[in-house]
Amino acid sequence: MAGEEIVLRAEALKKNFGKLEVTRDVAISLPRGARHALIGPNGAGKTTLINLLTGQLKPDAGRIELEGGDITGLAPAHRVRKGLSRTFQINTLFPDLTPIEAVTLAVMERERTAGQFWKRLAAHGDAIEESFTILDQLGLADVATRTTRTLPYGQQRLLEIALALATRPHVLLLDEPAAGVPKDESAALFAVIAGLPSDISVLFIEHDMDIVFKFATRIIVLVGGGVLLEADPETVRSDPRVREVYLGHGHG
Amino acid sequence: MTTPIAAPIESRDWLRRRSRWSPFEIMFWLAALLPFILLPTYLPLASQIAIAALFAISVDLILGYAGIVTLGHAMFFGLGAYFAGIISVRGWGEPISGLLMAGLFAGIIGYVVSFLITRVQHLALIMVTLGLGLLTYELANALHDLTGGTDGLRGIRTWPILGQFKFDLWGYTGYAYTLAVLFLCFLLSRRLVNSSFGLALRGIRENVKRMPAIGADHKGHLRLVYAISAAIAGLAGGLMAQTTNTVALDSLSFERSADVVVMLILGGTGRLYGAILGTIIFLVARDQLAGINPQYWYFGIGLLLMVVVLFMPKGILGFLARIVDRSK
């Protein structure tokens, strides 16, 4: 593993909610092109960790670096512009916009052209074209001009990812991208994720172990706010502690 | 309208179609010329409507598009009115430059205030806008030497437009002038809401939480639209000062701030024409109701407002648009 370029690094991250330690001395490092999974039982602090990394929450202590630069104190929007994007476990979309509008907006925010109130939206041909390409890549081309709220749930999950991709992320944090999606569809959704450009580093939270073992090259196990183990899938699968606290029965 | 599409060109066309001029719009603006011929005795009322409609459009930009609920926007209307009035009293009665300066002044104050506005949300936001409105009102009241206080500003004289068209007693020039300014500001607002900036405002209204996650500086957007809205409100106030040659404290009053929101909700928010239609209904109803009973005319407005809010949640124009869509 030596010589691998680390894109996202967190050191000694700490976060307390009152007396509850939700993040305890967490250190993670994500190399370029990673496909890492973040697993752990409910309440392990997985979403909190994503919120800390992306700036929705401020850590009590610790340091976060993106491509070598300190981003610990940056606002969420600023981190996104530096290449750190996320999706949400619960759909956080624009219900009354169409996918083409929503993704075009994200593209134009990235290009810093969204404030141009004097120019017609339709005149920004490049942004619209790029947005369409992203939607096409995720299989959403046919519904590009349908109102988001009317889309089937699975397509709304894909739109979550499309919005994140439109920011041209270097690092993509996916908070249970397949949450609420039927098992057969979630495999298709992860096939899309696996097919993302190889220079994007991906860290995803997922509960379905079959999917985790299939798509992750490395697994971080979070328990009680701290990292229990970080290793390749085979090691995690056979680790007795992981079996005990997380896999439990059914995988035993 | 959910036909699937197969190429980026088509989705671009789809976006373009959404901002195309409809025959209804062209008919509406032609109809706005009718008072010159059909109702010359109502020209002063027509000017009043055009001014109030411009003010309502300014509120629609922040309330209808960006979701900033305000109960203090008369602040900018009054600032524009006093600015245009005061420079005229002090010797500069040229209307067009005076009006532009009034709008600019209100816009600058709006930009300064926007830093406060974007810090708060929900009830606190309404209270901050209300508080600022009240502060401005009392400030104008206290600065008696400058504003005339409760007596109002006296001695405004507006020069002929372009040195040619005098403001006549019947209101021909007044209505032509206000209608022209309304139309120009409408064109600007229409372009704004159909631009990427308009899309960003709709994004803020739809889901403000997602905006930072797509890298948006949404507070910057809100500050910009607030300043633009304040400038347009200032133009409306300036128009009132110039066409009536009077400015009184009521231009800054809470009642004016509340009335404009009522007009907007009657007509329908977030569609620009709703602001205009709501203003027409409100002011014509007031004119007619006051003719029947000058004391209790708000009774009729209250009734109308409740009927609209209960049975037409998207306003009268939203209701009409739904009927048109269904009949297609």
Return d(Cα A138, Cα A126) in angstroms, integer: 19
A26 vs chain B: nearest CA distance in angstroms? 23
Sort out which chain B residues have CB atoms less than 8 A from A163's CB and list them. 210, 213-214
**Residues linked to residue A35 through DSSP beta bridges, in sequence order:** A202
> In angstroms, rounded to a whole number, what is the distance separating the alpha carbons of residues B192 and B198?
6
Kindly tell me if the per-residue pLDDT of B328 is higher than 80.
no
Contact B216 A114 (CB under 8 A): yes
The Cα–Cα gap between B101 and B84 comes to 8
B30, with CB counted inside 10 A (0-12, 13-18, 19+), is exposed
The structure's pTM equals 0.92
Comparison of pLDDT for B231 and B12, the residue scoring more? B231
Interface contact A77-B210, CB threshold 8 A = no
How many Å from the N-terminal Cα to the C-terminal Cα in chain A?
30
- Rounded to a whole number of angstroms, the distance from the CA of B155 to the nearest CA of chain A is 38
Confidence bin at A250 (pLDDT 50/70/90) = very low
CB contact under 8 A, A102 and B203: yes
Kindly report the average pLDDT of chain B as a whole number: 94
pLDDT band per the 50, 70, 90 thresholds, residue B8: low
- pLDDT at A246 (0 to 100): 63
**DSSP result, B239-306:** HHHHHHS-B-GGGG-HHHHHHHHHHHHHH-SSSSHHHHHHHHHHHHHHHHHHHH-SSSHHHHHHHHHH
- The ipTM, to two decimals, is 0.91
Chain B residue with minimal CA distance to A116?
B197
Query: Which tens digit of pLDDT belongs to each residue from A215-234?
Result: 999 999 999 999 999 999 99
Residue B313 DSSP class: T
Size of interface A-B (CB pairs under 8 A): 149
A219–chain B nearest CA distance, Å: 25
Give pLDDT, residue B1: 42
Is the confidence at residue A249, as pLDDT, over 60? no
> Does the beta carbon of B200 lie under 8 angstroms from any beta carbon of chain A?
yes
pLDDT of residue B291: 86
Tell the CATH topology of A1-83+169-252.
Answer: Rossmann fold (3.40.50)
For residue A219, the SS3 value is strand
Binned at pLDDT 50, 70 and 90, residue A36 comes out as very high
Q: What is the largest CA-CA distance in chain A?
A: 63
Across the interface, do B12 and A93 touch by the CB < 8 Å criterion?
Answer: no
B215 and A80 within 8 Å at the Cβ level: the answer is yes
A248, HSE (Cβ side, Cα atoms, 13 Å): 5
Q: What is the DSSP string of B27-42?
A: HHHHHTTHHHHH-GGG
Q: Can you give the C-alpha Rg of chain B in angstroms?
A: 20
Average pLDDT over residues B83-92: 97
Shortest alpha-carbon distance between residue B193 and chain A (Å): 8
Spans of all domains in chain A: 1-83+169-252, 91-166
* B252 vs A140: CA distance, rounded Å: 50
pLDDT in tens, A86-137: 999 999 999 999 999 999 999 999 999 999 999 999 999 999 999 999 999 9
Question: What pLDDT shows up at residue B294?
Answer: 81
